[in-house]
Amino acid sequence: MAGEVGVVLEVTIMNDGTLSPLSLKVTGESQYQLMPPTRDKTEQVFADGEVDFGTELGTGEKRLSCITSDGLSVAEKRALQTEIAGQLNALREYFLLKRECMPDKALYACLVGRVEFIEHPNWFEVIIPLKYQPIWVSTVEHTLVGNGTITNAGTFEAPFVVEIVGTATNPSVTVGGEIMQYDGTLAAGDVLVIKTGNIMTAKVNGANAMANYNRVFPMLQAGETTVVAGDNVMIKWRDCWI
């Protein structure tokens, strides 16, 4: 998921603690994991011992403790709770969680579990449980059309999305020396979308097209990567940091 492109929903923790665009303010009681959990990947072998495949990062967790403004009437509290519940429901898909003090980087996060509303006479608290991907991504989505050089300005490998627009017969794209090949014909207006990273899908007009794809899903290493592609090919990516 880290580096996934096409996400437009953004939530920003402002310098004064305001959670924009929600009508809430984050308090100092919010809980964060300093480092996300890790999982060791091993496999038992017939001889004594096991093969170590290294360690991968798991998702981290945040609990944002937020408050509303004071002086609300009962009717105003109920209306605000309804508004906030609707806004939070949209966060059950991954979104960009940003901080105003770090305008160029963000985390992918999503709402998990149950949101808690804690009543007070003229205001209320909202406890928002989130999980997040452990990789920082650029808030700017980059694109390349056709041949060229991609620069991942981060420090960690980044997934990317390839979009190929028909007409095309057996279209292919070479990224960093790896050939991504689709066997088939794209009619005028057809769009083949290939997503690398954890997603690893190939779809034509939204329908699964993996049967015609060679299942090559490279990543963009930090630094520069050479791309060989036609003018009907667009690549999208976000820089990644760990």
Q: Determine if the pTM surpasses 0.95.
A: no
CA distance 160 to 200: 10
- The domain tally of the chain equals 2
| Residue with more model confidence, 129 or 8 | 129
Q: Are residues 115 and 158 in the same domain?
A: no
Q: Report how far Cα 6 is from the mean position of its chain's Cα atoms.
A: 9
Pull the structure tokens for residue 5. Answer: 């492109």
Asked whether residue 232 carries a pLDDT value surpassing 90, the answer given is: yes
Q: Report how far Cα 26 is from the mean position of its chain's Cα atoms.
A: 22
What confidence tier does 133 reach under pLDDT thresholds 50, 70, 90? confident
- The reply to whether 91 falls in a domain is yes
Q: Are residues 150 and 197 in the same domain?
A: yes
Asked whether residue 57 carries a pLDDT value surpassing 70, the answer given is: no
Residue ending a domain, among 116, 134, 152, is 134
**For 167-219, what is each residue's pLDDT tens digit?**
999 999 999 999 999 999 999 999 999 999 988 999 999 999 999 999 999 99
CA distance 91 to 114: 12
Asked if 124 and 191 count as a contact pair (C-beta separation under 8 A), the reply is no
Q: In this predicted structure, what is the pLDDT of residue 59? A: 73
Q: In this predicted structure, what is the pLDDT of residue 58? A: 59
Q: Which of 158, 19, 172 is nearest to 95 (CA)?
A: 19
Domain range enclosing 228 = 142-241
**For 88-125, what is each residue's pLDDT tens digit?**
999 999 999 999 999 999 999 999 989 999 999 999 99
